[in-house]
């Protein structure tokens, strides 16, 4: 399908019910016409984390009114959209099924093509919403469930350079915030607590320091911080520990991204030689943790030091939203990449399936392969 056209995006993979209308222009740029997010934070807060059954039930109640509002706010109707994109995984499978089944129903009733979108591909394109961030780029995807570095060559063409061997960065933020007695979701609460704190008061372990490759590990940091949190009872101590944790997470992200930048630049230098022209090196950070200002600042400085330009989505597109799903769907629709109604919801769906299968060390943990 040739742009310009409109796509309706639906996102229900975790605890946000979201719908959005995105217009893909003839020049490939995206314009967000509406971006509706109904957060279930209040439903899950009493449990200190997301309860899958509660999330699925809430999506059932919210998805239709949220989609209706996205159409109304964009001043459009279902008849005027060219396709319907919905997250088909990875995520809480009961939650994913709600949005995907809803999208299938709409596609069938309105006679529109369906695009089943990988949630991670949504995060990967999120910096391209309302900004000019062309392919290719080096991506650090950091959210509650994922922490990986990817070489993104184009639509659906990702090669994984590294990922976490235990927790995701957002998960580390959330768990450490919990040991500091902060409410769920922990990341933003920890960032607020850290304001004005001394990041050097508490020495935290530096995982994988000097180790080859671009993998991450946060479990040692989490354990050390939990132990320190028991002794950090005064307001000053809590603030300093939060600042130390935030700095330690930012530092690890930057150190591992630095390695990926070296690998990426070397690989692309070979491409440049073949094409006789130097390519622009771009570094993009996306996902919920990209909302953290200390993390962003540290990564921006790292990118600059290595000759990469830096891009991060505006805060509203860092955490889960449907605009990124609509854009990923629109880019696929433009290439004719659609799905039939039999497409299934997937709890696990790595962006780089070849790398995930080849390297089973990335499939440990309570929940199995997260990415």
- Residue length of the chain: 371
Q: Can residue 292 be called a binding residue for ligand KG4 (CB under 6 A)? A: yes
Shorter beta-carbon distance to ligand KG4: residue 300 or 320: 320
Shorter beta-carbon distance to ligand KG4: residue 179 or 292: 292
Residues 6+ apart with CB under 8 A from 198: 240, 243, 244
CB 120 within 8 A of CB 140: no
CA 273 to chain centre: 33
Q: Can residue 49 be called a binding residue for ligand KG4 (CB under 6 A)? A: no
Question: How far is Cα 145 from Cα 89, in angstroms, rounded to an integer?
Answer: 12
Question: How far is Cα 115 from Cα 103, in angstroms, rounded to an integer?
Answer: 9
Q: Can residue 89 be called a binding residue for ligand KG4 (CB under 6 A)? A: no
> What are the φ/ψ torsions at residue 282 (nearest 5 degrees)?
-120, 140
Question: How far is Cα 185 from Cα 293, in angstroms, rounded to an integer?
Answer: 16
Candidates 143-151, 258-266, 329-337, 363-371; binding stretch for ligand KG4 (CB under 6 A) = 143-151
Helices (H), the chain: 41-44, 52-73, 93-110, 119-125, 169-179, 186-194, 219-231, 235-275, 293-305, 323-334, 353-358
CB of 186 to ligand KG4, least distance (A): 5
- Residue 187 binds what, of Zn ion, ligand KG4, none (CB under 5 to 8 Å, by partner type)? ligand KG4
Structure tokens at 283: 């570094």
Candidates 131-139, 287-295, 326-334, 342-350; binding stretch for ligand KG4 (CB under 6 A) = 287-295
Q: Scanning residues 88 to 147, which ones bind Zn ion (CB under 5 A)?
A: 143
Candidates 32-40, 68-76, 213-221, 281-289; binding stretch for ligand KG4 (CB under 6 A) = 281-289
Residue with structure tokens 């949005």? 99
CB of 124 to Zn ion, least distance (A): 11
Q: Which of 9, 89, 162, 288 binds ligand KG4 (CB under 6 A)?
A: 288
- Residue 174 binds what, of Zn ion, ligand KG4, none (CB under 5 to 8 Å, by partner type)? ligand KG4
CB of 287 to Zn ion, least distance (A): 6
Q: Which of 185, 197, 313, 350 binds ligand KG4 (CB under 6 A)?
A: 185
Q: Scanning residues 312 to 371, which ones bind ligand KG4 (CB under 6 A)?
A: 319-320
Q: Can residue 40 be called a binding residue for ligand KG4 (CB under 6 A)? A: no
CB of 14 to ligand KG4, least distance (A): 6
Q: Scanning residues 286 to 325, which ones bind Zn ion (CB under 5 A)?
A: 320
| The pairing of beta strand 5-11 with beta strand 83-89 | parallel
What are the contacts of 229-237 at 24+ separation with CB within 8 A? 229/176, 229/179, 229/180, 232/180, 232/202, 237/201
Structure tokens at 27: 């020049």
Q: Can residue 11 be called a binding residue for ligand KG4 (CB under 6 A)? A: no
Shorter beta-carbon distance to ligand KG4: residue 35 or 143: 143
Candidates 24-32, 99-107, 187-195, 358-366; binding stretch for ligand KG4 (CB under 6 A) = 187-195
CB of 287 to ligand KG4, least distance (A): 5
Question: Distance of CA 330 to CAs 17, 106, 164, 291, Å?
Answer: 20, 16, 30, 25
Residues at the contact surface with Zn ion, assessed by CB under 5 A: 143, 320
Residues at the contact surface with ligand KG4, assessed by CB under 6 A: 14, 143-145, 170, 173-174, 185-188, 191, 287-289, 291-292, 319-320
């Amino acid at each position: 399908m040739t742009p310009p056209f409109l796509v309706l995006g639906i996102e229900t993979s975790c605890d946000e019910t979201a719908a959005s209308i995105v217009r893909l222009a003839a020049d490939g740029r995206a314009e967000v016409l509406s971006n509706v997010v109904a957060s279930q934070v209040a439903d899950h807060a009493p449990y200190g984390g997301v309860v899958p059954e509660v999330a699925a039930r809430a999506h059932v109640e919210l998805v239709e009114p949220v989609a209706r509002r996205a159409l109304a706010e964009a001043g459009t109707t279902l008849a005027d959209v060219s396709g319907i994109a919905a997250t088909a995984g990875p995520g809480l499978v009961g939650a994913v099924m709600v949005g995907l089944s809803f999208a299938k129903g709409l596609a069938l009733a309105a006679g529109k093509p369906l695009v089943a979108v990988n949630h991670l591909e949504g995060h990967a394109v999120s910096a391209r919403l309302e900004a000019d961030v062309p392919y290719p780029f080096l991506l650090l995807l950091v959210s509650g469930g994922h922490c990986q570095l990817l070489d993104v060559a184009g639509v659906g063409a990702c090669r994984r350079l590294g990922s976490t061997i235990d927790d995701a960065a957002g998960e580390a933020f959330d768990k450490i915030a919990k040991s500091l007695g902060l409410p769920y979701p922990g990341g933003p609460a920890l960032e607020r607590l850290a304001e004005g704190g001394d990041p050097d008061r508490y020495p935290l372990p530096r995982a994988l320091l000097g180790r080859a490759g671009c993998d991450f590990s946060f479990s040692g940091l989490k354990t050390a911080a939990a132990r320190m949190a028991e002794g950090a009872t005064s307001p000053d101590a809590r603030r300093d520990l939060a600042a130390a944790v935030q700095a330690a997470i930012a530092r690890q992200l930057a150190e591992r991204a630095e390695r990926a930048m070296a690998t990426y630049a070397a690989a692309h230098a070979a491409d440049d030689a073949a094409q006789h022209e130097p390519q622009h090196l771009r570094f993009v950070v996306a996902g919920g943790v990209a909302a953290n200002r200390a993390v962003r600042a540290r990564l921006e400085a790292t990118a600059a030091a290595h000759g990469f330009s830096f891009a991060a989505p505006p805060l509203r597109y860092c955490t889960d939203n449907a605009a990124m799903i609509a854009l990923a769907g629109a880019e696929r629709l433009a290439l004719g990449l659609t799905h039939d109604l039999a497409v299934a919801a997937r709890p696990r769906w790595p962006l780089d399936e070849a790398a995930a299968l080849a390297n089973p060390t990335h499939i440990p943990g309570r929940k199995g392969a997260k990415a």
